[in-house]
Structure 1
Amino acid sequence: MLTDHRGWFFSVTVLMWVALLMLPVGVKGQDRVQEPSQDVQRKVEKLIEQLGDDRYTTRERAQAELTKLGFAAFEALSEAQNRKNVEVAMRAKYLIRSMRIDWTWEQDSPAIKTILKGYGRQDDDQRVRRMNALAQLEAGAGIAALCRLARFERTDSLSKEAALFVIGQNCPENAEDRKKHSDVIRHTLGSSRRAGASWLHVYADWLDNSATAVVSWGKLVEVERRLLQVSPDRSSQKIVRNLLRRQAEMLREMGHVTEAARVSKQLFDHLELKNEVQILEIVDWLAEQEEWQLFTDLSQRGDTLFSQNALLAYRLAQSELKLGNVERANQRIQKALQIGKNDAKEHELTAFELKKRGLIDWAEKEYRHVIALGPVASNTYIKAHFSLAEMLHDSARELDAAQTFQSLIQVLQDNRDEQITADDFQRQTGWIRARMHHFFALHHAARNELSQQKTHLEQALVADSSDADVLIAMYRLPNQDLDWQRRVRQLIQEAANAFRKQIAATPDDPAPYNQLAWLIGNTEGDFEEALECSQKSLELHPNQAGYLDTLARCYFAKNDLDQAVRHQSRALKLEPFSGLIRRQLERFQLEKQRRQTQRESLEPIDES
């Protein structure tokens, strides 16, 4: 118990003056932080004890000394924030908050510096969003920065969040890249003893294929679960769920399938069974892990939610199919289709989510249900046609895609306002008719029906001369005379110039950059300009699969097959169920293999 009763207001006022007069020495932007010596560590521990001394002057003197020590005291002060002695904990928290930390370091890439700009002025939610942005950087480029945050964040909760963003990334497939990641983690964390840092040290061992890492990880998980029980303010159900998920993934990767299922089931104890977002997240993860047998267990715990949420009902049907229960799966599908009854917008959203998860057949059922519900020519009705047609095109069902647009155009024609002239209607629906004819052309191309393909491309051009896909198809049409070739090149130039004008008019819109890059990358022109435009689109809208698809195509046009495959693979990771992206990746990989084989066949034989 404190014997000095001077009052909190006076103490806080003095603390503020200390912060102003004794500028704290923070963590500087350098490659590696100098670790405090053992003598310094002992001094810090002694000073922290003095923060709770009965004598006010001793407490103030200790705080001033710790302020001068700066980073050397950071680790111990972080731990002291959780002391039972209120005076020690309060002063430790204040000292941590008053430390100046350079969140960006000299060796950081421009992307990392941009993400972390102003980080110290952000609130907790904004900081977590910055962490997420770091985690989205390609090939683990944000790992060092995230480890830095895990080490130096002012609260344990934020430190743990940063660590989880590292742990949640996909493990590199080859040993060399795994070693690079583990080295970065250890190099950045140094001797940090914080909880998040401890997790990362074990994770680094896992990356190095340490046989004991999984056992160590299990112990960390149990420690965190106990902490959640006794001090819920220092952990969360979300943190425990993420730790358990990684533990299950580690076990599954090692072939311990039964143990992985046991750990996965423990996740259910840390869910709010009425929280749709949490349940959907875990259900999607269970599907990725192919833990189909656990779906029934979870659905029994959250029976009401599974009967009210169509997406969960479809996932449950999927698990039944995977387990060979076809009849029960069909029953669940019929029940899922009835959820939402006649709410077209709800069914449209369900279709979109099913498509995103690769459940294409069921997404098609939902889109067709939306169309059947109507009302005819409503926004939802039109969007359902468009989404269905593009999904069918992505699945290479070109005739079905074309006919979907064809039926939409007919409905719009039949319900056209009398005040809209035929010419105006043609202009308003031009882009739809262009897509329809493009899909018809693709259908005929697959059947080697060149004449019909050409006819539909001509009709698509009349409908919308700026459709890049139509121009690309015309450019690639085989066995065409010089007049056709000259005409197509002229049209490509005109479309490219139109995209350039759009870029000049709206320089912060990524779409025209992507359109110009896609058009040139698939035809002819300045491939360097195309590459720069594609990169700009991704700068404006990072981690967009369609834009990465374009970037890969630009590299392919420049004969850089390594980069083409690399970025196309990134696109497929973002949209793993996209048929268009997958087929383009397969094409790039085949071409890369063909050229490699060709080079090897030309290499001289060593006869020594």
Structure 2
Amino acid sequence: MAAEWLLVALLLPLAPALAGTTSVPPAEPAPEAIAALIARLGDTDFQRREAASAELKAIGPAAVDALLAAAELERDLEVALRARWLVDTIPLGMPHDPPEVTRLLESYKQRDFARRVRVMHRLLRVDDDAGIEALARIIRLERSPEGSRVAAALLVREWQADNRWWPAIAARATAGLGSSARPAAAFTRAVIELSAAQTPAARDAALAAAATALAHLERTDGDHGPQQEGADEEEDDDGDQGRSGADATEVGRIFARTRIAMLLAAGRKDEAIAAGKALLTAQWDGVPAAQISSRTIETLTWGTDLGIPGIVDQIHDARPDLITANPLVACAAAAAERARGDLGRATALADAAFAAIQTQGGGRNSRLMMQSGLVMARWGCVDWAVRAYTAVLDDPQSLPYEYCYTAILAAEYLHELGREEEAAACLGRLFGPNPPRRDFNVEQQLAQLGRDHRATHARADFFASCAAATRGDAAERRRLLETALRSLGKDVDSLIALYQLPDNTPDQRSDAVRRINEALRQIENEIQSVPEDANGYNEYAWLVANTEGDADKATRYSQQSLVKSFDNSSYLDTLAHCRAAAGDLAGAVRWQSLARRHEPHNQTIEKNLERFEAMAAKAAAKP
């Protein structure tokens, strides 16, 4: 069977010759002979097609990669389908796979496409990179081109020029890729080769290989017909739920962006900028300004974070109408100009964006202004973010829904910045003794937002306690924490702060531990009631990691939250804290670094990373 001969083939390089064995294995057919047999799979004569299939099956492992390439790249449908049939039973697992990886791979082929992608996510994040080789095997052996490409996109996205963990990832990926010639495998291999290149010639060869593989990926994507973002998912001929057009577009975007990052790492900045501009152009070509998607904005900010904010010139030169038609595009352009040092133009663009938002009517201005604050905060433009949030809160015409949501967003952002008095004042607009708005019911608006008013009350008092701490008022800090916990006894940040108060007496510390245990029981009950809610797992893990309790369980729950919400930066931050609490400082640094990669401008994440790195360095310096 195919499963048997592939297993033997993959084990051969690992096994020493058996003592006393004198038999000589038969010579493998030449690549040309295998190619000829594959071509015969499309012969007009049925008997010749069947005979070619039988011969290829008998050849076994030597034909695997050629068959997979044919299944993906061959334009003759008969050849592609027969090749796919021949490799359909190829096993993904290997005897040396760890138990967790084995379990994931066993479930992989029994799942639909969306669930297979979730298995890929889990393989990518198995501890100590133990799932990387298996993920690379999926690139090589997954029956569908779509699955192969998703696995490759996940893997190459891990590469960054300054990723200290990449060499170990690359070594495992190389083992899993084998000699596969599939386009997704070829592109992944090119990334690995560039990361290890020591000479200009080696870098040039890797870039050329990446360009060739990318061209194949783009061509074969085209064979599936035009894909529109947001297109409905369709069943493939195996009954699997296939990728949506949006999924396919995102995978292609990851490959294109990775090649641009490769150009930049190779010192070809001008080429990287030109490719970034081409990527922007492809997204708006022929599209009216009013219909431009958020992908244009996201691509511009991606380029800015990568170090090529100059791609904004493509908007200035080719589509200036986008800036005037969409204030959020103007905000992104302002961030790009600020990143490259043109503060005058950046300020003018930001001013124009805010002015354009103010002209919107029907409540649209408060919604757009809130959105601009949210994206400016994400992009690290602190003053513009605060300006936008304040504009919503100071406008008496802001819609109640946006007003309450903005108060929450602004308070959390200001807390992240350490501006505790301002954070407390934002929520004080909702719950203070003299709120500036009395034209709506706050609790009803919070309910529409899906927010428990008790939790929001507790958050307001927690921020006020943080402000008291910055003033050095220990008594007021304790009083406000107690007030917060009267609103919501399981408010995790208030419990952590109460537990960590430096002036706790033994009795006060014991009382804090009692409250923490009560909260953990309540959160556990909520998890059992709604097991699909990732936040419950995260809350449990965060509370234990910052106080005391079952650290192993907290780590498991943190990992479970990330299964349900892949690479959520807040949840990654929690897992890093769990690692640190367990004494795994190297793991804490790695998970926190991943959190920063997803939110490079989050100051809380950055501060936590600095703290974990200092702790790790101190531990390493001990004799």
Q: d(CA) in 2 for partners of 1:389 and 1:167?
A: 36
Per the normalisation by structure 1, the TM-score is 0.79
Letter in 2 for 1:196: A
2:580 is matched with 556
Alpha-carbon offset, residue 317 of structure 1: 0.9
The question of 1:32 aligning with 2:54 is answered: no
- Taking the aligned partners of 1:56 and 1:369, their CA distance within structure 2 comes to 73
Aligned to 2:29, the other structure's residue is in SS state helix
Offset, 1:361: 2.7
Q: TM-score, normalised by structure 2?
A: 0.78
Checking the alignment, whether the CA contact within 8 Å between 1:30 and 1:107 is kept in structure 2 is no
Contact 1:178–1:208, Cα closer than 8 Å, also in 2: no
Does the 8 A contact of 1:27 with 1:33 survive in 2?
no
Query: Of 349, 352, 358, which aligns to 2:374?
Result: 352
Give the letter for the 2:587 counterpart.
Q
> What displacement does 1:409 show?
1.4
- Cα distance, 1:400 vs. partner? 0.1
Cα distance per residue 1:60-94 (max 9 Å; x no partner): 333333344455433334455689995xx514422
Counterpart pick for 1:293 among 291, 305, 310 = 310
Greater CA deviation, 384-393 or 402-411? 402-411
1:250 and 2:250 matched:
no
Judged with a 3 Å threshold, the aligned counterparts in structure 2 of structure 1 residues 439 and 221 are, in CA distance, closer, same or farther, namely: same
**Equivalent residue for 1:20?**
none
The alpha-carbon distance between structure 1 residues 547 and 188, as it changes in their structure 2 partners (threshold 3 A), is closer
Query: What SS does structure 1 have at the residue aligned with 2:138?
Result: helix
Q: 1:283 aligns with which of 278, 282, 300?
A: 300
Cα deviation for residue 366 of structure 1 reads 2.7
Paired residue for 2:175?
A: 187
Q: Deviations over 1:2-53 (max 9, x none)?
A: xxxxxxxxxxxxxxxxxxxxx7667756792669954264543343344455
Matches within 5 A, 1:187-266: 187-211=175-199, 212-223=201-212, 233=222, 242-266=254-278
CA pair 544-531 structure 1, distance change in 2 beyond 3 A: same
Q: What CA distance in whole angstroms lies between the structure 2 residues aligned with 1:115 and 1:480?
A: 46
**How has the CA–CA distance of structure 1 residues 193 and 170 changed in structure 2, closer, same or farther, with 3 Å as cutoff?**
closer
Aligned residue for 1:32, secondary structure, equals helix
Match of 2:18 in 1: none
CA deviation string 1:112-135 (max 9, x = no partner):
556555544667676666556655
- Output the CA distance in 1 between the equivalents of 2:524 and 2:254: 45
Letter of the structure 2 residue corresponding to residue 463 of structure 1 = S
Aligned equivalent of 2:84: 96
Is 2:376 the counterpart of 1:366?
no
Tell whether 2:152 aligns with 1:163. yes
CA offsets, 1:473-517, max 9 Å, x none?
222223344554444343333333333333444444343333333
Where does 1:288-327 land on structure 2 (aligned, <5 Å)?
A: 288-327=305-344
- Segments of structure 2 that go 5 or more residues without pairing to the other structure are 14-25, 225-247, 445-450
Alpha-carbon contact 2:2-2:90 (below 8 Å) kept: no
The two structures, once aligned, show a CA RMSD in angstroms of 4.0
Distance 1:364 1:90 in 2: 60
| 8 A Cα contact 1:182 1:208, kept in partner | no
Could you tell me which amino acid in structure 2 is paired with residue 393 of structure 1?
H
Which AA in structure 2 matches 1:354? M
Residues 410, 426 of structure 2: 8 Å contact kept? yes
Is 2:124–2:131's contact at 8 Å kept on the other side of the alignment?
yes
The residue type equivalent to 2:85 in the other structure is R
SS at match of 2:10: coil
How far, CA to CA, are the matches of 1:199 and 1:440 in structure 2? 52
CA apart distance, 1:386: 0.8
CA deviation vs aligned residue, 1:136-178 (integer Å, no higher than 9, x gap): 6667554423332332344556544543433232247477x54
Determine the structure 1 residue equivalent to 2:348: 331
Deviation at 1:288, TM superposition (A): 1.7
Equivalent residues in 2 for 1:118-157, closer than 5 Å: 119-120=108-109, 131=120, 134-135=123-124, 141-154=130-143
Residues 369 and 388, structure 2, Cα contact 8 Å, conserved in 1: yes
The residue number in structure 2 matching 1:59 is 49
- Distance (whole Å) between structure 2 residues aligned to residue 463 and residue 208 of structure 1: 56
Conserved? CA contact 2:559–2:575, under 8 Å: yes
Change (3 A) 1:262 1:26: farther
Match of 1:442 in 2: 466
Q: Deviations over 1:440-496 (max 9, x none)?
A: 221221232223323323333333333222222222223344554444343333333
Unmatched tracts of structure 1, length 5 or more: 1-22, 421-426, 601-608
Q: Measure, in 2, the Cα distance between the counterparts of 1:216 and 1:407.
A: 60
Summarize the alignment of residues 559-578 of structure 1 with structure 2, pairs less than 5 Å apart: 559-578=583-602
Give the CA deviation at 1:201. Answer: 3.1
1:266 positional shift: 4.4
Asked if the contact 2:544/2:551 (under 8 Å) is kept, the reply is yes
Distance 2:198 2:348 in 1: 46
1:249-295 CA distance string (max 9 Å, x none): 23432444344434444445644433524423421221122212221
1:7 corresponds in structure 2 to: none
> Which residue number corresponds to residue 542 of structure 2?
518
Contact 1:103-1:120 at 8 Å conserved across structures: no
Q: 1:487 to 1:178 in 2, by over 3 A?
A: closer
Q: Of residues 486, 491, 498 in structure 2, which corresponds to 1:467?
A: 491
Q: Secondary structure at the match of 1:511?
A: helix
Once residues 147 and 432 of structure 1 are traced to their aligned partners in structure 2, the CA distance between those partners, rounded to angstroms, is 45
Q: 1: distance between equivalents of 2:219 and 2:597?
A: 39
Conserved 8 A contact 2:187-2:210? no
Number of residue pairs aligned between Structure 1 and Structure 2: 568
Spell out, residue by residue over 1:393-440, the C-alpha distance to the aligned partner (whole angstroms, 9 max, x if none).
Answer: 0111100000111111144994576999xxxxxx97443332222212
Q: Greater CA deviation, 156-165 or 91-100?
A: 156-165
Asked which structure has the greater CA Rg, the reply is 1
Q: Sort the Cα spacing of 1:136 and 1:304 in 2 relative to 1 into closer, same or farther, 3 A.
A: farther
Instruction: Check conservation: 2:9, 2:61, Cα contact below 8 A.
Output: no
Distance (Å, rounded) in 1 between the aligned partners of 2:384 and 2:40: 66
Q: How far, CA to CA, are the matches of 2:464 and 2:74 in structure 1?
A: 73
- The one-letter amino acid of 1:556's match is A
Letter aligned with residue 405 of structure 1: L
- State the Cα deviation string for residues 153-210 of structure 1 (Å, max 9, x = none): 44556544543433232247477x5443343333223333333333333333223224
Q: In terms of mean alpha carbon deviation, does 327-336 or 398-407 score higher?
A: 327-336
Are the equivalent residues in 1 in contact too, given 2:34–2:66 (CA < 8 A)?
A: yes
2-structure distance, mates of 1:156, 1:210? 32
Residue 386 (str. 1) matches residue 408 (str. 2): yes
Residue from 53, 65, 70 that aligns with 1:75? 65
- Taking the aligned partners of 2:215 and 2:583, their CA distance within structure 1 comes to 56
Q: Secondary structure at the match of 2:601?
A: coil
Answer with 283-292 or 134-143: which moved more. Answer: 134-143
What is the aligned partner in structure 2 of residue 408 from structure 1?
430
> Residues 183 and 216 of structure 2 are in contact (CA less than 8 Å); yes or no, is this contact kept in structure 1?
no
Residue 323 of structure 1 deviates from its aligned partner by: 3.8
Query: 1:510–1:540: 8 Å Cα contact kept in structure 2?
Result: yes
Provide the C-alpha distance between the structure 1 equivalents of 2:119 and 2:603, rounded to a whole number of angstroms: 32
Cα displacement (A) at 1:244: 4.8
The answer for the alignment partner of 2:20 in structure 1 is none
Deviates more, 1:91-100 or 1:283-292: 91-100
Q: Is the 8 A contact 1:202 1:213 kept in 2?
A: no
